Amino acid sequence: MTRLSVNINKIATLRNARGGNVPDVLKAVIDCERFGAEGITVHPRPDERHIRYRDVRDISPIVTTEFNIEGFPNKKFIDLVLEVKPNQVTLVPDPPGVLTSNAGWDTIKNEAFLKEVNSEFKRNGIRVSVFIETHAKLIENAAKTGADRVELYTEAYASNFPIDKEKAIAPFTEAAKVASSVGLGLNAGHDLDLGNLKYFAQNIPGLLEVSIGHALISDALYLGLENTVQMYLRELR
Q: Which residues are catalytic?
A: 43, 70, 190
Which residues on adjacent β-strands are paired with residue 127?
A: 88
Residue 211, exposed/middle/buried by CB under 10 A (0-12, 13-18, 19+)? buried
| DSSP code string of 114-174 | HHHHHHHHHHTT-EEEEEE-S-HHHHHHHHHTT-SEEEEE-HHHHHHTTT-HHHHHHHHHH
- Asked if omega into 23 is within 30° of 0 (cis), the reply is yes
- CA 185-196-232 angle, to 5 degrees, is 75
| DSSP secondary structure code for residue 29 in this structure | H
Q: Residues 93, 97, 98, CA angle at the centre, nearest 5°?
A: 55
d(CA 48, CA 74): 14
Under a CB-based contact definition with an 8 Å cutoff, are residues 129 and 187 in contact?
yes
Decide: 201 and 232 in contact? Cβ < 8 Å. Answer: no
* Dihedral sign (CA 216, 220, 222, 224): positive
CA angle 182, 89, 224 (to 5 degrees): 110
